Amino acid sequence: MAVDFGLKGRVILVTGGGGGIGHAAALELARHGAAVAIVESRQDSGKAAVAAIEAAGGTACAFVADVCDEESVDAAIDGAESSLGPVYGVVTCAGLAKPAPAESMPVQDWEAVLSVNVTGTFLTTRLAARRMLPRGEGAMVLIGSTDSLGGQDGRANYAASKHAVVGLAKSLAYDWGPRGIRVNVVCPGPVDTPMLRSATAATGIVPEKLYLPRTPLGRLTRPVDQARAITYLLSDYASNVTGAVLPVDGGLSAGYLADLPVPATESERMLQS
Ligand SMILES: NC(=O)c1ccc[n+]([C@@H]2O[C@H](COP(=O)([O-])OP(=O)(O)OC[C@H]3O[C@@H](n4cnc5c(N)ncnc54)[C@H](O)[C@@H]3O)[C@@H](O)[C@H]2O)c1
The rounded Å distance from CA 179 to ligand 1 centre is 29
Give tens-digit pLDDT for 59-85: 999 999 999 999 999 999 999 999 999
Tell me the C-alpha distance between 267 and 273, whole Å: 10
Confidence bin at 192 (pLDDT 50/70/90)? confident
Structural domains present in the chain = 11-249+261-272 (3.40.50.720)
Burial class (CB within 10 angstroms; exposed 0-12, middle 13-18, buried 19+) of 218 = middle
Confidence bin at 273 (pLDDT 50/70/90)? very low
State the amino acid at position 1 in one-letter form. M
How much is the average pLDDT of 16-33? 97
158 assigned to active site: yes
At a CB cut-off of 8 Å and minimum separation 6, what does 173 contact?
Answer: 182, 183, 184, 242, 243
Any residues with Cβ below 6 Å from ligand 1, and which? 15-16, 18-22, 40-42, 45, 66-68, 93-96, 116, 120, 143, 145, 188, 190-191, 193-196
Record the pTM: 0.93
